[in-house]
Amino acid sequence: MTAEKIRELTDEEILKQVSDFKEELFNLRFQMVTGQVSNPGKLREIKKNIARCKTVLRQREIAKEQA
């Protein structure tokens, strides 16, 4: 998910996305431990998506404070 697509979402939708990404990350970690992960690069991608979402939320928060 790109930052541009994230910026198009509302705050509530972004928070839902973060929740979904965290759940997926949790499941991938279990698969990693048991050796069932088909794509280990997916972990890194999910972490980056979480960071992107949180960054957009923080940018909006700062913009509201300055306004």
Q: What are the pLDDT digits (tens) for 22-66?
A: 999 999 999 999 999 888 899 999 999 999 999 999 999 999 999
Contact 25, 46 (CB under 8 A): yes
Residue closest to 58 by CA, chosen among 18, 1, 24: 18
- Whichever domain contains 26, its CATH number is 1.10.287.310
Longest CA pairwise span in the chain (Å): 50
- Which residues lie closer than 8 Å to 67 by C-beta, 6 or more apart? none
Q: What is the pTM of this model?
A: 0.90
> What is the per-residue pLDDT for 5?
96
50: domain range? 3-66
Number of compact structural domains in the chain: 1
Contact 18, 53 (CB under 8 A): yes
> What is the per-residue pLDDT for 6?
95
